[in-house]
């Protein structure tokens, strides 16, 4: 049963089906209540792997997501995929989800959101403060050789970075 206190976070999967499969397994094993994908899914065919999630997803497009209509149509059973920044709520927290980190500090300084999730840099980044900022690193592992995802516990606001590659 999905836990509304836990969120799975991933970005920059870039069609790495093996890493996606491992991330989905992690998210299901931990019973996360929602998965946030911060862009660069790339191809609609990866829905076959993401569709095994036991929860929904909120997603934004990344700079490598060229087939946007196909991604929207294919991924719609899991949840919305939007142009970021995308605002939503989960587990009593307010989220902003985006791919590129433009205006990241200004968004955090403005308050009004509890968690900002971004991707694009392929580097893990967790900044605590009034607003929690999370980049889970690269889910695909293509650039660094390290495929990662994150688990966020909304009751403690603690982030765990997990290897998925």
pLDDT (0 to 100) of residue 102: 87
Helix (H/G/I), strand (E/B), else coil: 33: strand
Domain parsing of the chain, residue ranges? 3-163
Tell me which residue of 53, 2, 46, 9 sits closest to 152, measured CA to CA: 9
Hey, which bits of the chain come out as E strands? 3-10, 32-37, 56-60, 81-82, 86-90, 93-97, 115-117, 124-127, 132-136, 148-153, 158-163
At 45-87, the pLDDT tens digits run: 999 999 999 999 999 999 999 999 999 999 999 999 999 999 9
Mean pLDDT by 10 residues, the chain (165 residues): 87 98 98 98 98 98 96 97 96 97 88 95 96 98 96 97 95
* CATH of segment(s) 3-163: 3.60.21.10
């Amino acid at each position: 049963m999905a836990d509304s206190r836990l969120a799975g976070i991933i970005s920059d999967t870039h069609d790495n089906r093996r890493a996606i499969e491992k991330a989905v397994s992690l998210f299901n094993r931990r019973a996360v209540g929602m998965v946030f994908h911060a862009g660069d899914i790339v191809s609609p065919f990866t829905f076959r792997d993401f569709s095994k999630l036991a929860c929904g997803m909120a997603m934004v497009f990344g700079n490598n997501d060229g087939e946007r209509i196909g991604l929207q149509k294919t991924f719609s059973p899991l949840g919305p995929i939007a142009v970021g920044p995308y605002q939503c709520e989960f587990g009593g927290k307010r989220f902003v989800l985006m791919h590129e980190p433009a205006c990241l500090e200004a968004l955090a300084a403005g308050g009004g959101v509890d968690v900002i999730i971004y991707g694009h840099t392929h580097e893990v980044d967790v900044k605590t403060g009034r607003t929690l900022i999370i980049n889970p690193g690269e889910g695909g592992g293509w650039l660094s050789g390290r495929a990662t995802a994150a688990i966020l516990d909304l009751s403690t606001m603690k982030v765990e970075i997990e290897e998925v590659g």
